[in-house]
Amino acid sequence: MIRPILFYGVIAGLIVTFPMLLMIDGSGSSEHGVSSMLVGYLTMILALSVIFVAVKQYRDKHLGGVIKFLPALLMGLGISVIAGLLYVTGWEIYLTLTDYAFMEAYTHAMIEAQKAKGLAGPELDRLVSDMAKMTEDYRNPLFRLPMTFVEIFPVGVMMSLIAAALMRNSRFMPARAA
């Protein structure tokens, strides 16, 4: 089971990381709004949908068309870990190539968005202070790396749970007769 976990984990990791690396424009600035988050999470869902393919293929080719919930779940989680590690690596490459400008641009955009909504006074000061602390924390790889991993891993957990629940039923997408 290790080989398909590695194979499909790398595929999922490349699918989720490649678009992020394509977005590098060299300036270090980009949109950090709701639409980019939506695209990011949709890309994660697309990438981690390979879990379904991996579990089905393993079930049909190696287990005679039957897989229990726990092995299917563990396979999906393994794929999610590999994809997550590649995602973190890709993000670190992105940060390096953009001179670590992401967090400053992100916090600036968040502050400006709140100002546009009318936030002022002590509330604005608190937001600016919180964003400055977040920017400082984000410089620490021991904070940034797990935070980046946690962006993608819960998506993998959900996809793994769904795949395991569906694929344990041998009548769901049964193997084709040769």
Contact 152, 87 (CB under 8 A): yes
Band (29; pLDDT cuts 50, 70, 90):
very low
Q: Can you give the pTM of this predicted structure?
A: 0.85
Residue with the bigger pLDDT between 57 and 34: it is 57
pLDDT at res. 167: 95
* Terminal Cα-to-Cα distance of the chain (whole angstroms): 23
Residue pLDDT, tens place only, 141-169: 999 999 999 999 999 999 999 999 999 99
Rounded CA-CA distance 17/151 in Å is 13
Write down the pLDDT at residue 31. 52
pLDDT at 26: 42
Mean pLDDT lowest among 6-15, 18-27, 67-76, 160-169: 18-27
Nearest to 113, CA basis, from 38, 40, 33: 33
Cα of 100 vs its chain's centroid, Å? 19
Return the amino acid letter for 152: I
Who's near 140: CB < 8 A, 6+ residues apart? none
- The domains of the chain are located at 2-98+152-167, 101-138
- pLDDT, tens digit, for every residue of 90-136? 999 989 988 888 888 888 988 998 999 998 899 999 999 999 999 99
Flag whether pLDDT at 47 surpasses 50. Answer: yes
